[in-house]
Amino acid sequence: MNEEAAGLNPSSYAPQEKASSPRSKFWLWGTVAIVTIVAIGGIVAGVVLSRHKSSSSSTSTGGGGSNKNSSSSDPSSFTKNPALKNSFYGFAYTPLGAILPDCGATQDGVIQDIQLLSQLTTRIRTYGSDCNVSSLVLNAIKQTQVDMTVFLGIYISDNDTVYERQRDLTFTALQNFGVDHVAGLTVGNEVILDRLTLVGSQNPNDTTGIAAAEFLKDKISDVRSTLSNMSFSKTIPVGYADAGSYFNTDILEAVDYAMANVHPWFADVTIDQSASWTASYFQSTDIDLAASTTKNPPFYIAETGWPTNSSTTAAAQNQAGSPASDANLQFFIDNFVCQANQNGTGYFFFEYMDEPWKTTQYGGVEGYWGLFDSNKQLKNITIPDCTHK
């Protein structure tokens, strides 16, 4: 399948690994009828990442009109933007400058993000701990004193060095900043997807899928025992995130919660169907599978959203003919957010802000999923006003 026509998945790879992984990877969006296959390695080969310099400077200076007081000496006192409403169950969040080797995330930048996010939601999830992200986020919540909990990501690649580094950084953050605002530790992102992709499979029940779950269970149990050795004041749930169709019962029996990416854009659903498709796909593929296990862990939508722009005309619309646009992001928000709240669905809207490094590295719609652009300016959208859990 043509790479550009297929569209790139913005979100399937943890940021920590994207910058350093030279090998070809494939994204498989599995539904019964629709399979989107994308080769990424070839596209990224030779691309020199220079995102960090520009993104960190925009972090410190680009706060923009929505939040001029964010670098005041008291981060807990900041001007609210009346256009923002606390209507979202949760948000997927990656700070600028969070990917090795080009770290650059700053405490001021993350404080500003948390100030903005706290006007939209009370929950965020992160993808990894490199570049001190877990500490920066927990410290920002502490400094701003906002009502916010975080599911911290511990990224896993096929290299244990990466896992151990991420785990240690996360536990250092918990030690230094406490666990009051920690809702969970998400151990691994799309590990089953990646392992199946390497062998050309889409079936999480096959031997590769089960082996991947066994591999993950080792890490999950390592995190659990580290947690129990540290005897924190509360029990921290340990979970796992993958694309919606890559869970098996083996992994679901092992986690306290699961998180599934459910992307109508990549499933080539029309914008008109996007919200209802997301709800029914998540129910039939993920919730029902979890319900068939004895553990029946809570399941969240790890990512859902709609892109607003594309770096190529070929990827400017999905194969159902629905464009990446502010208007379609608005449509998806209008038809998903308050309805999902009412239905009791836990979801992390993808995502807080545009990530320019993804445009550089992957092209397509990759870098354009934010409610805010990369200068932290709210796009041309109206935030609905409704309550959430």
Ligand X SMILES: *[C@@H]1O[C@H](CO)[C@@H](O)[C@H](O)[C@H]1NC(C)=O
Determine, following the binding rule CB under 6 A, whether residue 203 of this chain makes contact with ligand X.
yes
* Minimum CB–partner distance for residue 389 and ligand X (Å): 13
Determine, following the binding rule CB under 6 A, whether residue 380 of this chain makes contact with ligand X.
yes
Known active-site residue 190: yes
Binding segment for ligand X among 9-17, 116-124, 131-139, 260-268 (CB under 6 A)? 131-139
Q: How much of the chain is helix, strand and coil, in % rounded to 5?
A: 40, 15, 45
Identify the burial level of 117 via C-beta atoms within 10 angstroms of its C-beta, where 0-12 means exposed, 13-18 middle and 19 or more buried: buried
* Minimum CB–partner distance for residue 206 and ligand X (Å): 8
Determine, following the binding rule CB under 6 A, whether residue 276 of this chain makes contact with ligand X.
yes
The 293-332 contact track toward ligand X, x by CB under 6 A, reads: ----------------x-x---------------x-----
* Minimum CB–partner distance for residue 268 and ligand X (Å): 18
Residue whose C-alpha is closest to residue 16's, from 177, 152, 215: 152
Contact call for residues 386 and 340 (beta carbons, < 8 A): no
Specify the residue, 143 or 149, whose C-beta has the smaller distance to ligand X: 143
Segments in the chain forming alpha helices (H): 3-6, 15-18, 41-44, 51-61, 107-117, 133-144, 160-177, 191-198, 207-230, 249-252, 274-281, 288-291, 326-343, 356-362
Residue whose C-alpha is closest to residue 112's, from 357, 387, 360, 353: 353
Determine, following the binding rule CB under 6 A, whether residue 389 of this chain makes contact with ligand X.
no
Token pair recorded at residue 72: 């005041």
Q: For the packed helices 160-177 and 133-144, what is the interaxial angle rounded to 10 degrees?
A: 20
Determine, following the binding rule CB under 6 A, whether residue 229 of this chain makes contact with ligand X.
yes
The 76-115 contact track toward ligand X, x by CB under 6 A, reads: -x-x---------------------------x--------
Token pair recorded at residue 177: 């900043």
Known active-site residue 214: no
Contact call for residues 81 and 378 (beta carbons, < 8 A): yes
Specify the residue, 57 or 342, whose C-beta has the smaller distance to ligand X: 342
Catalytic residue among 303, 351, 355, 366: 303
- How far apart CA 234 and CA 122 sit, in angstroms, is 19
For 158, list phi and psi in degrees, rounded to 5. -75, 0
Count of residues that interact with ligand X, criterion CB under 6 A: 32
Determine, following the binding rule CB under 6 A, whether residue 24 of this chain makes contact with ligand X.
no
The 343-362 contact track toward ligand X, x by CB under 6 A, reads: x-x-----------------
Determine, following the binding rule CB under 6 A, whether residue 132 of this chain makes contact with ligand X.
yes
For every residue of 63-109, DSSP letters joined together read T-TT-TTTTSS-TT-----TT--S-BS-EE---TT-STTS----HHH
Catalytic residue among 3, 4, 17, 190: 190
Determine, following the binding rule CB under 6 A, whether residue 161 of this chain makes contact with ligand X.
yes
Contact call for residues 18 and 193 (beta carbons, < 8 A): no
Q: Which of 3, 108, 222, 334 binds ligand X (CB under 6 A)?
A: 222
Specify the residue, 205 or 235, whose C-beta has the smaller distance to ligand X: 205
Which residues contact ligand X (rule: CB under 6 A)?
A: 68-69, 77, 79, 107, 132, 135-136, 139, 159, 161, 203, 205, 222, 225-226, 229, 248-249, 275-276, 279, 289, 309, 311, 327, 336, 339-340, 343, 345, 380
By annotation, the residues acting in catalysis are: 190, 303
